Amino acid sequence: MNAMIRTDRQKLQADFDALAALTEPGRPWTRRSFTPLFLKGREYLQRRFAEEGLDCRIDVAGNLIGRWEGNNPSLPVLMTGSHSDTVPSGGRFDGIAGILTGLAAISALRKAGIRPSHTIELVDFLAEEPSEWGLSCIGSRGMAAALEPHHFDLKGPNGEDLASAITRMGGKPEQIRQSRRTDIDRFVEIHIEQGPVLERSGMPIGVVTAIAGIARLRIRFEGEAGHAGTTPMDMRADAGLAAARLALALRDAARAVTGQGHFTATTGIMRFEPGGANVVPGAAELIVDIRAEQDAAMDTFLKTAEGLAGSAADAEGCRVASFERLSRTFAVACDEATRTLISTAASDMGLAAMPLASGAGHDAAFVAQIAPAAMIFVPSKGGRSHTPEEWTDLEAIALSADLLALTLLRLDTRKHT
C-alpha cells in the first residue's frame, strides 16, 4: 500500500501556478490577509478542496478547513496545513506549500483507495504573516483560544477593528474564546525552510526540532549632540558610536552561544538623532531581534545584552536612557514521537532527512498549545524567502507531499495507547 502513495505532480504544479497568478500587479507574489485578493485565493482553495472530496467550512477564527471524514468518529482529528496569505512581494511558496502538499497528500491517499479511521483536516490558517492589525498567526491563535480580548480591538486599515475583520472573513470572533479545539490528535505542517541549511547540506528533508522563541529589545543611548567639524574626537559623547559598539557586541555574543541549539541576534533598526550628516549623534535607538531554540539561552543572553549596552555607553561617554523588552515568545519543541515517525517514514522512502530548528515563527507553534505538533522543511533555493526570488523546486515539494501522505497513513494506523 505504501508504494502506491505518490502525489500528482501535474496537479501540484497547476495549483501553485493558479495561486501565483492571484497577486497584486507588479508585486509578485502578494496576497495580503483580509484583502480581496486573499479572498480570491481562498475561493480557489475552497473549490480545489471540494474537488478532492473535502467538506469545507470557515471556523470561528476565520480559518478555512477542508474535512475528510474518517471511519471512526470517536477518534481525534489528524490535521495538516499552513497559510495562504503572504508578506508583500514574497509568497510564492511560503505558507501555500503547506496547504497544497496537504491537498496533494489527501488526494493521493483517496486515489489509493484508503479510507482513514481518523478524520483528516486540511487548514488554511488566517493571517499567519504579520498583518495590518499588527498581529501574526491570527487563525492559529484563534484555534487555540490564544487571542486575548485586547487583540480584537486592534485597528487596521480605515480604522476597522480586528473583530470586524475576522467577521468579514467568515469567522465569529465572539465565540473564539470559548472554542478552543480539544479534538486534534496530531498536527503536521510542511513549510519551505526559508534558510540555506538544507540546500547547503544537500538534504531533501528537514525534520524540525523546535520553533525558536523570539524576543525584541529597544535600546536608547543618549549622549551629546555637537558640530561634526568643531567637536574634537576625544571630547565627544557620540550616541551613534555607542549603538554601533552594541550592535557588534551583540553579534559576537550571539556567535559565542554554542551547544544550545539555534541562536541568532540581529540589529535590524538603528536610528540616530538629530540625523544630520554634519552632527555628532546626541541620541541613538536600536531594535534588536533575538531568536533561540532553548529558552535558557535566551534568558542568559537578555541579561548579557543589558550589560553590553552599559559597556558600550561607558566607552563613548554616553548613558543608556532606556532598555526595553518589546516582546517575548517562548520556544516550542516539536513532538518527539511525531518527529520519529516522520524520520522513519522518510528513511523508508529512501529520503535523507536531518534535524534542524526553525528560526521563523509558524502556525504550528500555536497549534502545539492544543495538540502534539511537528513540521517538515523542504529546501529553499539560496536560502531566500520573503522576496520575489523565493523558490523551491516542484519535485522537492512533491517529495515532501509523498512523505506527508505516508506520515498521515502511519499516524492513522498506529496503535493508540
- Helix, strand, or coil (residue 73): coil
Task: Note the pLDDT tens digit of each residue in 109-159.
Answer: 999 999 999 999 999 999 999 999 999 999 999 999 999 999 999 999 999
pLDDT at 20: 96
**High-pLDDT (> 70) share of the chain, %:** 99
| Alpha carbons 262 and 363: distance in angstroms, whole number | 19
Which listed CATH number (3.40.630.10, 3.55.50.30, 3.40.50.720, 3.10.180.10) goes with 2-211+331-413? 3.40.630.10
| Alpha carbons 249 and 308: distance in angstroms, whole number | 7
Mean pLDDT confidence for 384-391:
95
Question: Around Cβ 3, how many Cβ atoms within 10 Å?
Answer: 7
**High-pLDDT (> 90) share of the chain, %:** 97
CA distances from 400 to 26, 188, 405 (A): 31, 12, 9
Task: Locate 395 and state its grid cell.
Answer: 519535485
User: Phi first, then psi: what are they for 400, rounded to 5°?
Assistant: -70, -35
**Domain boundaries of the chain, sorted by first residue:** 2-211+331-413, 213-328
pLDDT at 219: 98
pLDDT at 2 over 80: no
Spatial contact of 180 and 145, defined as CB atoms under 8 Å apart:
yes
pLDDT at 91: 85
Task: Note the pLDDT tens digit of each residue in 232-276.
Answer: 999 999 999 999 999 999 999 999 999 999 999 999 999 999 999
pLDDT at 174 over 50: yes
Task: Locate 116 and state its grid cell.
Answer: 482513514
Task: Note the pLDDT tens digit of each residue in 57-104.
Answer: 999 999 999 999 999 999 999 999 999 999 999 889 999 999 999 999
Cis peptide before 116 (omega within 30 of 0): no
Compute the mean pLDDT over every residue in the chain, rounded to the nearest whole number.
96
pLDDT at 417 over 70: no
| Alpha carbons 408 and 387: distance in angstroms, whole number | 31
Task: Note the pLDDT tens digit of each residue in 316-362.
Answer: 999 999 999 999 999 999 999 999 999 999 999 999 999 999 999 99
pLDDT at 1 over 50: no
* Predicted structure pTM score: 0.93
Spatial contact of 414 and 119, defined as CB atoms under 8 Å apart:
no
| Alpha carbons 351 and 400: distance in angstroms, whole number | 9
CATH number for the segment(s) 213-328 = 3.30.70.360
| Domains 2-211+331-413 and 213-328 fall in the same CATH topology | no
Mean pLDDT confidence for 280-304:
98
Q: 416: pLDDT confidence band, cut at 50, 70 and 90?
A: low
Spatial contact of 133 and 78, defined as CB atoms under 8 Å apart:
no
Task: Note the pLDDT tens digit of each residue in 204-231.
Answer: 999 999 999 999 999 999 999 999 999 9
pLDDT at 292 over 50: yes
With the CA atoms of 297, 302, 308 and 312 taken in that order, what torsion angle do they form, in degrees rounded to the nearest 10?
A: 140
pLDDT at 392 over 70: yes
- Helix, strand, or coil (residue 396): helix
- Helix, strand, or coil (residue 325): strand
pLDDT at 415: 75
**For 329-392, where are the E strands, in sequence order?**
332-333, 353-358, 373-378
Contacts of 336 (CB under 8 A, 6+ apart): none
Nearest to 173 by CA among 200, 150, 195: 150
| Alpha carbons 387 and 91: distance in angstroms, whole number | 8
Q: 3: pLDDT confidence band, cut at 50, 70 and 90?
A: low
Spatial contact of 32 and 93, defined as CB atoms under 8 Å apart:
no
